[in-house]
Amino acid sequence: MKQQIEDFIRYLQEVKHASLNTVSAYQNDLLKMESYLNRQGIKTASKITETSLNSYVLYLEKDGMSPATVSRHIASMKAFLLFLLRNGFISKDPSERIRAPKVVKKPPQVLDEKKILELLKQPDISTSKGIRDRAMLELLYATGIKVSELINMKTSEVNLNGNYITCCDKQERIIPFGSAAKKAIKDYLDIRDKIFNKKNTDYLFLNSHGDQLTRQGFWKILKEYAKKAGIEDINPNIIRNSFAAHMIDNGADIGVVQRFLGYTDLYLTKNSNSNIREVYMNTHPRA
């Protein structure tokens, strides 16, 4: 079964062009399933039954997984078995009647504008590290991008003259930013090559060794400043949620905000409706 899992992962990478995080999640989920089934004496996909899959789901629930995590494992299982069915490895999909547990969705966590401003004030901009960190936090809140998009941002994707970034996750979209983010990014770019860029890389945000900043590195930075700001519960997605909530609270159309976040197929381009920037400038607290 391991070979078929590898074939499926290759399909996700080469045909579906799935993100690294998505591929990693599928791979981990399926290897866990393969390990469980192997312990039950099921070593080939053709031997998988609905009963064995129900037993696996029960095992996940007893292992203390949340309904959301169990649902993700079931989604991975179903996608894999459908791939096997379509490619003739199995004659019937044994997961067809497997149902995911109901997931009660919690409202997204949001910081109010006062707490966001307090967070943004924490970096010490008399230091090169503080200048970089202020630029990261300002850009994150200014655009609502994901942390993966932030750390993968290239200098060539930042347009200071036009006040926008080009975000290339899955499909390209253009997201404006305001004066506060512009100043923070400009201040950082003024010192970036001299202080951080020792390896001539185009990644925008670098660590002290001149390498691309990692997700873990940013997470550590964010927690440090949140603690100083008196914010107990923080993660990059909370800033993303706050970006969206604050713009909507200030009158932005939900559809426009979704386009900024990349939630719809109507990706922002330079030729988008002319009022997009106007909406941003009128509704973002730091425009």
Helices (H), the chain: 2-14, 20-39, 50-62, 67-86, 113-120, 128-143, 147-151, 179-191, 215-228, 236-249, 254-261, 275-283
9-51 pLDDT, tens digit per residue, is: 999 999 998 888 899 999 999 999 999 999 999 999 999 999 9
Per CATH, the homologous superfamily of domain 2-86 is: Tyrosine recombinase, N-terminal domain (1.10.150.130)
Q: What is the pTM of this model?
A: 0.65
183-228 pLDDT, tens digit per residue, is: 999 999 999 999 998 888 999 999 999 999 999 999 999 999 999 9
Nearest to 175 by CA among 58, 273, 269: 269
More confident residue, 117 or 264: 117
Per CATH, the homologous superfamily of domain 113-283 is: Intergrase catalytic core (1.10.443.10)
Q: Kindly indicate the confidence band of residue 264, based on its pLDDT and cuts at 50, 70 and 90.
A: low
- Tokens 């253009």 sit on residue: 174
Query: Active-site residue numbers?
Result: 240, 280
Rounded CA-CA distance 267/272 in Å is 9
52-80 pLDDT, tens digit per residue, is: 999 999 999 998 898 989 999 999 999 99
Rounded CA-CA distance 169/65 in Å is 29
Range(s) within the chain of domains with CATH label 1.10.150.130: 2-86
Range(s) within the chain of domains with CATH label 1.10.443.10: 113-283
